[in-house]
């Protein structure tokens, strides 16, 4: 089994899909060979020499795609809509591609892979079950994004985060408000707290209150009915416009007291909800900062411009893109470990990759196989009929009936 890792070509992408440590671990399996495109890990701090020392073979890009049976990418052509077609053209029938594919926003990619007879696995669809936690790239990358967004805010702010008592007077601690207490939001709370800020946070999910307290932040509670706010897998569920309108009214009173607002609310496969309106921005203190981690999905703030830092009504609004890539060394380390753990599940003792469709992880992550799209949610998004569940084998049924008859005779 030849596993190939090409260099990422998506503009701004600095991560690499495997690190030398992952290569060493995977090569312990019999029958596995790993090839890496030259320079694939340079920007992330993983030089070619480290991959060679780990046992990988360095090749050019064309050889990765022509020789590898399994191609590992951070951003496959499904998520890399800027120049991903260059790689899509290189994929061939029978190959397996594993990486981020943005499946819920771009389900057509699954159909494209199916048409090419390429098997695709989308890391974003790894189910949130205990057994799959070590493969969850969304949580890994969200943790890094939550950390880095606080540093972005601190860099833009004209205020220091911690309180300082000096001979020149006392400087009060900055007040930081985090909207959304998922993995990114909780890490943002913890990072802002470590920098000395007074941190408050809000999440529509009632269960988030204890999590906010656990990282040293104060939960903000609004007079809203949030009983239906949590969807499957622990993600926030999209809310109706009446709920969001009332939420914004109550939130304005909170936001106008803050020095920094960090928004992290995202719904998988959908446009980010607007949590901060232009009127709310107008109510904020001059010199305040908003860092919108949902900028790539339309943003949580009305005035966010993806990939830009703008000043509106005296408030600096940062709309960063692909934040984990800016911490590429540790982001690659975490991404690579998630990938390694998934491969350990899929590779048998002989190094062959087996897809067990009795396994929930395989069922959820495989988006194309044998010329079809087996993933239920993607079939629905593509307008494909649901796949029929396999019938129990006739022999087993006959044996069961026979045993039942014998029991009755007794």
Beta bridge partners of 100: 75
Residue 82: active-site member: no
Residue 133: active-site member: yes
How far from chain centre, in Å, is Cα 224? 28
Closest CA to 56 of 30, 38, 69, 43: 38
Q: Out of 87, 102, 136, 203, which one is annotated catalytic?
A: 136
Q: Where are the beta strands (DSSP E) in 9-150?
A: 33-37, 57-59, 70-75, 96-100, 119-122
Phi, psi of 160 (to 5 degrees): -80, 150
Q: How far, in Å, CA of 132 to CA of 150, rounded?
A: 28
Residue 30: active-site member: no
Q: How far, in Å, CA of 130 to CA of 145, rounded?
A: 22
Residue 205: active-site member: no
Q: Which residue's entry shows tokens 């320079």?
A: 39
Q: Out of 38, 48, 69, 128, which one is annotated catalytic?
A: 128
Question: 386 with 376: CB under 8 angstroms?
Answer: yes
Q: How far, in Å, CA of 156 to CA of 335, rounded?
A: 28
Alpha helices in 157-196 (DSSP H): 183-194
Question: 125 with 103: CB under 8 angstroms?
Answer: yes
Q: Out of 24, 69, 133, 326, which one is annotated catalytic?
A: 133
Residue 368: active-site member: no
Q: Out of 38, 48, 69, 139, which one is annotated catalytic?
A: 139
Torsion of CA 206, 210, 215, 221, to 10 degrees: 50
Which residues are CB-contacts of 57 (< 8 A; sequence separation ≥ 6)?
33, 34, 35, 36
State how far the alpha carbon of 177 is from the alpha carbons of 39, 55, 91, 97, 296, in Å. 40, 47, 45, 40, 21
The CA-to-CA distance between both ends of the chain, in Å, stands at 55
State how far the alpha carbon of 359 is from the alpha carbons of 271, 355, 365, in Å. 31, 8, 10
How many Cβ atoms from other residues are within 10 Å of residue 369's Cβ? Answer: 21
Q: Out of 38, 69, 235, 246, which one is annotated catalytic?
A: 235
Q: Active-site positions?
A: 128, 133, 136, 139, 235
């Amino acid at each position: 089994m030849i596993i190939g890792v090409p260099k990422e070509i998506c503009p701004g992408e600095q991560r690499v899909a495997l690190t030398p440590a992952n290569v060493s671990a995977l090569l312990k399996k019999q029958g596995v060979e790993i090839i890496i495109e030259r320079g694939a890990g340079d920007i992330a701090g993983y030089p070619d020499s480290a991959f060679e020392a780990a046992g990988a073979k360095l090749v050019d890009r064309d050889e990765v795609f022509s020789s590898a049976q399994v191609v590992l990418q951070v951003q496959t052509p499904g998520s890399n809509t800027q120049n991903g077609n260059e790689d899509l053209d290189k994929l061939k029938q029978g190959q397996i591609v594993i990486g981020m594919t943005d499946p819920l926003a771009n389900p057509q990619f699954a159909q494209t892979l199916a048409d090419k007879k390429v098997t695709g696995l989308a890391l974003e669809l790894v189910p949130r079950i205990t057994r799959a936690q070590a493969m969850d790239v969304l949580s890994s990358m969200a943790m890094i994004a939550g950390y880095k967004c606080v540093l972005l805010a601190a860099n833009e702010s004209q205020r220091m985060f911690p309180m300082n008592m000096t001979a020149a007077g006392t400087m009060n601690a900055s007040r930081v408000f985090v909207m959304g207490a998922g993995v990114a939001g909780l890490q943002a709370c913890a990072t802002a707290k470590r920098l000395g800020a007074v941190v408050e946070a809000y999440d529509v999910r009632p269960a988030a209150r204890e999590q906010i307290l656990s990282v040293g932040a104060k939960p903000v509670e609004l007079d809203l009915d949030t009983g239906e706010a949590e969807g499957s897998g622990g993600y926030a569920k999209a809310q109706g416009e009446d709920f969001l309108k009332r939420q914004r009214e109550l939130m304005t009173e909170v936001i106008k007291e803050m020095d920094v607002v960090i928004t992290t609310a995202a719904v998988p496969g959908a446009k980010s909800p607007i949590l901060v309106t232009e009127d709310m921005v107008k109510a904020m203190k001059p010199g305040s900062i908003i860092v919108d981690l949902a900028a790539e999905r339309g943003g949580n703030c009305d005035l966010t411009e993806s990939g830009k830092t703008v000043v509106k009504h005296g408030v600096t609004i940062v709309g960063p893109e692909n934040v984990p890539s800016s911490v590429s060394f540790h982001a690659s380390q975490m991404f690579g470990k998630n990938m390694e753990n998934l491969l350990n599940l899929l590779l048998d003792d002989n190094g062959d990759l087996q897809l067990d469709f009795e396994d929930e992880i395989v069922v959820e992550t495989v988006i194309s196989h044998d010329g079809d799209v087996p993933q239920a949610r993607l079939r629905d998004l593509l307008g494909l009929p649901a796949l029929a569940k396999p019938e129990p084998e006739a022999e087993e049924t006959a044996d069961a009936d026979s045993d039942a008859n014998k029991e009755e005779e007794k």
